[in-house]
Chains A and B, each alone.
Chain A
Amino acid sequence: MDIIISNSSGKPIYEQITTQIKNSILIGALSEGQALPSMRLLAKDLRVSVITTKRAYDDLAREGFVSNVPGKGCFVAIKNPELLREETLRRTQDILQQAVDTARAGGITPAELHELLDLLYEGE
């Protein structure tokens, strides 16, 4: 499993872990039922504290991406299409927020923004 932590990204480390694991699940790099490394092992490999990895795993479990089997570990949960959609929506919203902030700061109107969006969507 590939996880890269950046100490200067400004995002809390547990969030970076959850984001990257979610990503791996979404693109299929991690398959259903696959075992994730133990919290402690991950902490050691990433050189972070166990509380960080525990929080990441707990968050992932809460959101339904993984399931915690006591005594056995953490496994990728069965892919739920609703979950996927929700996650993708969330991502898109974050990115759009950035676009909106930029546009607003530069004085671009909502109408111009909509136009741009349609253009881009059709363009690909």
Chain B
Amino acid sequence: MKNAIEVQHLNKQFPGFALQDISFTVPGGSIMGFVGENGAGKTTTIKALLGLIQPDSGETTLLGLPLAGNEKEVKSQIGVVFDESYFHDNLTLGIIDTMMAHIFGTLWDKAEFAALCTRFALPAKKTIKTFSRGMKMKLSIAAALAHHPKLLILDEATSGLDPIVRDEILDVFYEFIQDEEHSILFSSHITSDLEKIADYVTFIHKGRIVFSRNKDVLIDEYGIARCTAAQFDAVQSGDYLRRRTTGLGGKELLVKDRAAFHALYPDIVLDGASIEDIMLFYVKGELA
């Protein structure tokens, strides 16, 4: 199966910020979590993927096709959700339904849209102005799914939502991924959502890709070693990735293979590392 998304050597310069040599691949049928702090470049990368901004250099493909020359075909098969609502205040579900039917033609599934709106308990007759943030988000997701896309691109689509709504939405994404031809690129700084659902995690920091790895490997193999200053002196710098100093003078080390580390230093306390932990170590920790 072809890759859902391919990004190769993407570069884009802005005053004060730049995307530098961004490369990663989202395999078909998988979910990739795209993490990074605010301002790291997640949204910029996604915009470049979608042709909303023009990269300085680099190549991208969506569903195996470059965007240039294939815009209609590609865009009919993707669903995009940003973190803000883009429906005008005076519209209602019915108007949006009709509008989308015009835009997507036969691809738009009115029954599916209605079913999703009902599931999300969205009021049929009220205007968007009366919708809460959570409702607007659910509407955006319903609109993204109702034309049966093959690829979902979500940019912070669950940020600012309460855990209950996020849970409902995650369920919808799980259902979406039941079809093996469906893929999701999910950018978020709520790493707990990604820890559940993602197959791969790509971490971007200050405009560069830090790593792009299988999530299970990150969770099962990476670890945090907690050692005293004395213990730390005995540790070789090649055996860990990053370090942080604790308030008590000890050290916390991000370790790539905790089984191996434990074999080398069996007396040092070793914990699993969450995606958030790994992010913090890369952003705030010092190099080995």
The answer to A–B direct touch (Cβ < 8 A) is yes
The complex places the Cα of A80 from the Cα of B203 at a distance, in Å, of 45
Known: A13-B216, A14-B216, A55-B216. A49 touches B178 (CB 8 A): no
| Of the residues B170, B175, B180, B216, contact of A52 by C-beta under 8 Å | B216
B272 and A10 contact, CB distance less than 8 A: yes
Stretch in A36-44, A81-89, A110-118 touching the partner: A36-44
Q: Of residues 44 to 96 in A, which have CB atoms within 8 Å of B's CB atoms?
A: 44, 47-52, 55
Q: Which residue of B lies closest to A38 (CB)?
A: B178
B178 and A51 contact, CB distance less than 8 A: no
How many Å from the CB of A35 to the closest CB on chain B?
Answer: 16
Residues of chain A lying within 8 A (CB to CB) of residue B219? 12-13
The complex places the Cα of A19 from the Cα of B216 at a distance, in Å, of 17
| Of the residues A12, A13, A47, A55, contact of B197 by C-beta under 8 Å | A47
Q: C-beta contact mask, B201-227 vs A, less than 8 Å → 1, else 0?
A: 000000000000011100110000000
The complex places the Cα of A44 from the Cα of B198 at a distance, in Å, of 11
| Of the residues A10, A13, A44, A49, contact of B199 by C-beta under 8 Å | A49
Q: Of residues 24 to 76 in B, which have CB atoms within 8 Å of A's CB atoms?
A: 29-31
The complex places the Cα of A17 from the Cα of B177 at a distance, in Å, of 20
A12 and B177 contact, CB distance less than 8 A: no
Known: A10-B272, A49-B198. A44 touches B214 (CB 8 A): no
A51 and B216 contact, CB distance less than 8 A: yes
B residues with CB within 8 A of A? 29-31, 170, 174-175, 177-178, 180, 196-200, 214-216, 219-220, 272
Given contacts A12-B219, A13-B219, A51-B215, could you give 13 more A-B pairs where the C-beta distance is less than 8 Å? Answer: A10-B272, A13-B216, A13-B220, A40-B177, A43-B174, A44-B175, A47-B174, A47-B196, A49-B31, A49-B216, A50-B30, A50-B177, A55-B216
> Can you report 19 residue pairs joining A to B where beta carbons are below 8 Å apart?
A12-B216, A12-B219, A13-B220, A14-B220, A38-B178, A40-B177, A40-B178, A41-B178, A47-B174, A47-B196, A47-B197, A49-B31, A49-B196, A50-B30, A50-B31, A50-B199, A51-B215, A52-B216, A55-B216
